[in-house]
Amino acid sequence: MNRESFDEVFELMEASFPDTEIRTYEGQRRLLDHPAYRLNVSRNENGDILAFMGVWEFEGFRFVEHIAVNPNMRGGGIGRKMMTAYTSESATPVVLEVEPASDTDSKRRIEFYERLGFHLNAFDYFQPPLREGQPELALQIMSYPGPMSEEQFLPYKKVLMAEVYKQPASSR
């Protein structure tokens, strides 16, 4: 991915997520050097970014860290198409993090993933800070194609903490 393409993706990332859910520009760009990290980008016929997914491909499971659709294109099925294509390209389980259903937007996001076959799992999960000085985030794990117990998720959590968040799994 060239710098211009990354800059476009990062601009959409900043427009779509609060600072607590994305790394700094430099931190996010460094991920491109990680062999397990991929940025999947959907463009229109003019080359404009419609949407992107930031994903991690690990042995035994895949992790969707970010998915965002251009604000001008939301509601047109682009996110659904991207996620459906991603989940159908492999039989490998997929996990992602969501905010607890505390407001209309967070409830809509959970319902979006549920319509795509994801399951909201009933155990506590905390995302480590992505930027210095930020608190950890209380999130929930969704999984595809089936639900997971906390015990089943533990091996995935260890990989996420070590590879994605660069720290050992906490006792949380």
Structural element, H or E, at residue 3: helix 3-16
- Cα distance between residue 106 and residue 90, in whole Å: 27
Encode the chain (172 residues) as per-residue pLDDT tens digits. 667 799 999 999 999 999 999 999 999 999 999 999 999 999 999 999 999 999 999 999 999 999 999 998 888 999 999 999 999 999 999 999 999 999 999 999 999 999 999 999 999 999 999 999 999 999 999 999 999 999 999 999 999 999 999 986 554 5
- Cα distance between residue 85 and residue 63, in whole Å: 14
Question: Helix 78-88 vs helix 104-115: angle between axes, to the nearest 10 degrees?
Answer: 40
Q: Which amino acid is at 84?
A: T
Question: Residue 147: what pLDDT?
Answer: 98
- The C-alpha torsion from 164 through 8 and 83 to 155, rounded to 10°, is 0
Question: Residue 170: what pLDDT?
Answer: 57
Q: Which domains does the chain have, with CATH numbers?
A: 3-164 (3.40.630.30)
Question: Residue 171: what pLDDT?
Answer: 47
Question: Residue 23: what pLDDT?
Answer: 97
